[in-house]
């Protein structure tokens, strides 16, 4: 074991899945690597991966027992874009405990724990910075430009980058719904040193951040999170009772309520309908390329203005 790495072993004694975590991000090469932990995200990856390859230096996709060919889709997308050397594929063959009480009952050192899974996934990073990414998160053109500029700006600092993301509930190829009442700001970009490893938290995993790290917050409008109304978007949670139990999970409670209301055909305050015009093949393309970039800022309606969401309509390009 190199002195530049810390070895994390698991309770199951699976040494082929031990984690070698870098001690200091300065020992790695400059740049940013996006790490996606995916399970059955083949439908979203053709939207997710192309802007990511524009935005960061490398992409690591860790497949957790997909049955829909997600790794093959990722390989095909990278090949079509001419960047197969910038994609690393890895497979994690263990069941991972779902968020909530199941996660809480699983020891942190188990291969079935979220924190261990995340540490193993991120240990494939060879750049100084890593970017936590999901298999359903799509950058807008503005998002691509922002993250592409971050790589060189971060070379001389030690910082964590926060970004708002906006849930897009996809009803069909033509229609989707955006929740402008939900504020969701998370940390996405981290240095790769030992001080930034993942640990077990109450409902899910969390990443350690030392006090010395700076925090940079990016503007709204950079990323959409796709949620398909014909799918089970909450199967990685134990049950709905796990939502809304703390301030940390109130966001998930809102997502669950909006998701099921839309599936039942009920209107929800703060949820805006988006329909793609005929010259767009899919509403996701329209939302990322036209609708969201043209929308009045702030995109998330402040609580004091939530009695009137008409102010939050796009400034151009229809509704």
Model pLDDT for residues 30-80, shown as the tens digit of each residue: 999 999 999 999 999 999 999 999 999 999 999 999 999 999 999 999 999
Supply the angle between the helices 141-153 and 45-55 in degrees, to the nearest 10.
Answer: 40
Decide if pLDDT at 265 tops 80.
yes
Residue 318's pLDDT is what? 39
Q: Does residue 319 lie within any of the structural domains?
A: no
Q: What is the DSSP letter of 314?
A: B
> pLDDT tens across 163-219, in order?
999 999 999 999 999 999 998 999 999 999 999 999 999 889 999 999 999 999 999
CB 33 within 8 A of CB 60: yes
Distance CA 102, CA 300 (A): 32
Question: 107: helix, coil or strand?
Answer: coil
> pLDDT tens across 117-174, in order?
999 999 999 999 999 999 999 999 999 999 999 988 998 899 999 999 999 999 999 9
Q: What residue spans of the chain are helical by DSSP H? A: 45-55, 70-80, 101-104, 114-122, 141-153, 250-263, 283-286, 292-294
The proportion of the chain whose per-residue pLDDT surpasses 70, expressed as a percent, equals 94
CB 148 within 8 A of CB 55: yes
pLDDT tier at 296, thresholds 50, 70, 90 = very high
CB 30 within 8 A of CB 128: yes
Distance CA 4, CA 194 (A): 10
CB 101 within 8 A of CB 159: no
Decide if pLDDT at 228 tops 70.
yes
Residue 234's pLDDT is what? 86
Decide if pLDDT at 20 tops 90.
yes
pLDDT tier at 236, thresholds 50, 70, 90 = confident
Residue 41's pLDDT is what? 97
- Cα distances (angstroms) measured from residue 182 to each of 91, 155, 157, 185: 33, 33, 31, 10
**Cα diameter, the chain:** 60
Residue 310 dihedral angles phi and psi, to the nearest 5°:
-65, -30
Q: Does residue 194 lie within any of the structural domains?
A: yes
- Say which residue, 135 or 244, is predicted with more confidence: 135
pLDDT tier at 311, thresholds 50, 70, 90 = very low
Residue 44 dihedral angles phi and psi, to the nearest 5°:
-90, -30
- Cα distances (angstroms) measured from residue 263 to each of 170, 180, 282, 287: 10, 18, 19, 20
Decide if pLDDT at 258 tops 50.
yes
Residues contacting 40, CB < 8 A, separation 6+:
66, 67, 68, 70
Residue 91's pLDDT is what? 98
Residue 102's pLDDT is what? 94
Q: What is the DSSP letter of 295?
A: B
Decide if pLDDT at 110 tops 60.
yes
Work out the average pLDDT over 254-265: 95
Question: 206: helix, coil or strand?
Answer: strand
Q: Does residue 317 lie within any of the structural domains?
A: no
Residue 244's pLDDT is what? 67
> Domain of 55: which CATH number?
3.90.550
pTM: 0.93
Residue 166, domain extent: 5-312
The proportion of the chain whose per-residue pLDDT surpasses 90, expressed as a percent, equals 82
> Do strands 214-217 and 205-207 pair parallel, antiparallel, or not at all (unpaired)?
unpaired
Residue 203's pLDDT is what? 87
The domain total for the chain is 1
The token duo for 146 is 């922002």
Q: Does residue 318 lie within any of the structural domains?
A: no
Q: How many CB atoms lie within 10 A of CB 236?
A: 17
State the number of CA atoms in the 13 A half-sphere of 161 facing the CB.
22
């Amino acid at each position: 074991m190199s002195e530049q790495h810390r070895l994390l072993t698991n309770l199951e004694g699976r040494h082929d899945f031990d984690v070698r975590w870098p001690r200091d991000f300065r020992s790695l090469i400059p740049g940013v690597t996006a790490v996606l932990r995916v399970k059955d995200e083949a439908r979203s990856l053709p939207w997710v991966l192309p802007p990511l390859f524009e935005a960061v230096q490398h992409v690591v996709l860790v497949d957790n027992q997909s049955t829909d060919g997600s790794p093959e889709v990722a390989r095909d997308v990278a090949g079509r874009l001419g960047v197969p050397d910038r994609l690393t594929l890895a497979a994690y063959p263990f069941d991972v405990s779902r968020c909530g009480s199941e996660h809480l009952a699983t020891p942190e050192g188990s291969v079935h724990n979220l924190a261990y899974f995340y540490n193993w996934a991120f240990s494939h990073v060879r750049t100084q910075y890593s970017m936590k990414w999901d298999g359903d998160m799509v950058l807008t053109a503005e998002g691509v430009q922002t993250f592409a500029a971050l790589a060189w700006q971060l070379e001389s600092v030690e910082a964590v980058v926060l970004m708002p993301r906006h849930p897009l509930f996809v009803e069909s190829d033509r229609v989707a719904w955006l929740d402008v009442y939900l504020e969701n700001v998370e940390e996405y970009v981290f240095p790769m040193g030992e001080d930034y490893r993942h640990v077990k938290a109450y409902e899910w995993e969390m990443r350690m951040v030392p006090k010395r790290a700076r925090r940079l917050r990016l503007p709204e409008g950079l990323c959409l999170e796709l949620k398909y109304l014909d799918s089970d978007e909450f199967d990685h949670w134990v049950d709905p009772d796990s939502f809304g139990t703390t301030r940390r999970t109130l966001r998930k409670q809102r997502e669950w309520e909006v998701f099921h209301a839309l599936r039942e055909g009920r209107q929800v305050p703060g949820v805006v309908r988006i329909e793609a015009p005929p010259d767009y093949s899919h509403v996701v393309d329209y939302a990322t390329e036209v609708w969201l970039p043209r929308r009045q800022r702030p995109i998330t309606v402040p609580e004091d203005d939530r009695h009137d969401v008409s102010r939050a309509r796009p400034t151009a390009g229809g509704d």
